[in-house]
Chains A and B, each alone.
Chain A
Amino acid sequence: MSTVRVAVGTRKGAFILTSNEKREDWKVEGPYFAGWEIYHIVGTPLDPDRLYASQSSGWFGQVIQRSNDGGKSWETEGNDFAYEGVPGTHKWYDGSQHPWEFMRVWHLEPSPTNLDLLYAGVEDAGLFRSSDGARTWQEMSGLRSVKGNLWQPGAGGMCLHTIVLSPDNPDRIFVAISAAGAFRTDDGGTTWLPVNRGLRSEGELPDPNVEVGHCVHSIAMHQSRPDVLFMQKHWDVMRTDNAGDLWHEVSGNLPSDFGFPIAVHAHEPDTIYVVPIKSDSEHFPPEGKLRVYRSRTGGNEWEALTKGLPQSDCYVNVLRNALAVDSLESCGVYFGTTGGQVYGSADSGDSWTPIVRDLPPVLSVEVQILP
């Protein structure tokens, strides 16, 4: 029987939750790296024993950890994220120009085809590549040349938080940056295009249709349909059917189209999940009811999934990297909250149970099926 491993990054360490395929009884291990912020912890598709973790602290900076034995032991790897050349400046909160400064790694994305290849999305926004299992890092600096001087930090900092690798084209990568937007490369990262046409940010940007500057919160793709992407923007849930060339809104009947994460069902490319949040100024679920919303139609028509989730007095948030699906036949869905709960569903979201209730605020959730 396979093992389900859920890797959880929190404000004060990492946790690994494991169960069998039934996903009823869970073992909770951790904290790993106690006291440190773990923005992301993720396993590699090619070797489930290899995990990477982004460990950081306001006091002690950035550390990258790697495990080669499924998390039993860890080794520090390279933490030298040097922007290529003269880093230049980007837009600051007050509209002035501000020097690019490395702060932390938000997201690590291992390659599905090369064990030692992985990408790191960082704050201040940039994309780095390692071809030696995280020992050394090289910036893919062509990204920042796409009007980087106009990018501006959001409330959470100017972070590259989403990296989506195309399953059928190793030269195609999508990234998302708050608050710059979505970008695509079709040549392995040398040159990049902003892919934000169709996004509208009325009341937030002087030109709501501007090419860069949109606050994209996350992007998701189904492996069988690499030209179709779904986006949770600051406000609005969006969809593209042409790899980002044009987006259209699919918020439909959601109670709020503000939120952070978005995910696609493992086996149904038109089934997507979001967790609506009341607003940008009230980061908690509408009406105090924690509801995952599922669309089985690729957007626009949404149903609330509530069974097993608190339906009163709930004021947690679910952050952008904290929603994940597993690949078992009955697709599992998992999310973590800023209140420290990790919820799991073994039936595509129809019903939920708390796997663990009292962790530190959850920053990221990843899941992997181990043989």
Chain B
Amino acid sequence: MIWIIIPAHLRTLSRVNGDLRLQVEEPPTLGSVLDALEAAHPMLRGTILDLRTKKRRPFIRFFACGEGWSDEAFDTPLPDAVIAGTQPLRIVGAMAGG
């Protein structure tokens, strides 16, 4: 199970209480985890990835094992600790707004 942490606004929107754990097909990649997240919670479609281009929205960031994953290709396998479910994939609203 992949452990995913999403921003508070998206937890409210998707009615997720706390962190998420999702079963994702092997090998879990950033892209397959995001696909699984949207499939499990359709109201999140368009909030993390652009609906049309399927690219990361400008003010969304990804972190895994303390490293930035925002610019990684979506077919890159996630770190072992994330695949093992001991570390979360963090989806974060970027610092913006002042």
Q: Which residues of A contact B (CB under 8 A)?
A: 33-36, 57-63, 76, 79-80, 82
Interface magnitude class on chain B:
20 to 34
What 1/0 mask marks residues of chain B from 47 to 70 whose CB sits below 8 Å from any chain A CB?
110111000010110000000000
Q: Which of A35, A57, A62, A80 has the most CB of B within 10 A?
A: A57
Write out the residue numbers on chain B whose beta carbons fall within 8 Å of the beta carbon of A35.
Answer: 8-9
Q: Using a CB-CB cutoff of 8 Å, which residues 1-44 of chain B contact chain A? A: 7-10, 12-13, 42-43
Contact present for A61 and B47 (CB under 8 Å): yes
CA distance A63 to B50 in the complex (A): 12
B79 at the interface (CB under 8 A from A): no
Q: List 8 A-B contacts (CB under 8 A).
A: A33-B12, A36-B9, A59-B60, A59-B96, A62-B46, A63-B13, A76-B13, A82-B51
Known pairs A34-B12, A63-B13; A82 contacts B52 (CB<8 A): yes
Known pairs A76-B13, A82-B52; A63 contacts B7 (CB<8 A): no
Known pairs A76-B13, A79-B45, A79-B46; A60 contacts B93 (CB<8 A): yes
Contact present for A58 and B96 (CB under 8 Å): yes
Write out the residue numbers on chain B whose beta carbons fall within 8 Å of the beta carbon of A62.
Answer: 46
Write out the residue numbers on chain A whose beta carbons fall within 8 Å of the beta carbon of B52.
Answer: 82
4 interchain residue pairs of minimum CB distance? A76-B43, A60-B47, A59-B59, A59-B93
Measured between C-beta atoms, what is the minimum distance from B45 to chain A in Å? Answer: 7
Q: Which of B9, B42, B93 has the most CB of A within 10 A?
A: B9
Q: Which residues of B contact A (CB under 8 A)?
A: 7-10, 12-13, 42-43, 45-48, 50-52, 57, 59-60, 93-94, 96-97
Contact present for B9 and A57 (CB under 8 Å): yes
Q: Who on chain A is nearest to B92 by CB?
A: A59
Write out the residue numbers on chain A whose beta carbons fall within 8 Å of the beta carbon of B13.
Answer: 60, 63, 76
Contact present for A60 and B57 (CB under 8 Å): yes
Known pairs A76-B43, A79-B45, A79-B46; A60 contacts B51 (CB<8 A): no
Measured between C-beta atoms, what is the minimum distance from B40 to chain A in Å? Answer: 14
Known pairs A80-B51, A82-B52; A60 contacts B43 (CB<8 A): no
Write out the residue numbers on chain B whose beta carbons fall within 8 Å of the beta carbon of A58.
Answer: 59, 96-97
Q: Who on chain A is nearest to B41 by CB?
A: A76
CA distance A196 to B43 in the complex (A): 40
CA distance A180 to B82 in the complex (A): 50
Contact present for B10 and A60 (CB under 8 Å): yes
CA distance A82 to B13 in the complex (A): 22
Write out the residue numbers on chain A whose beta carbons fall within 8 Å of the beta carbon of B50.
Answer: 61
Measured between C-beta atoms, what is the minimum distance from A39 to chain B in Å? Answer: 16
Write out the residue numbers on chain B whose beta carbons fall within 8 Å of the beta carbon of A60.
Answer: 7, 9-10, 13, 47-48, 57, 60, 93
Contact present for B46 and A80 (CB under 8 Å): yes
CA distance A35 to B12 in the complex (A): 10
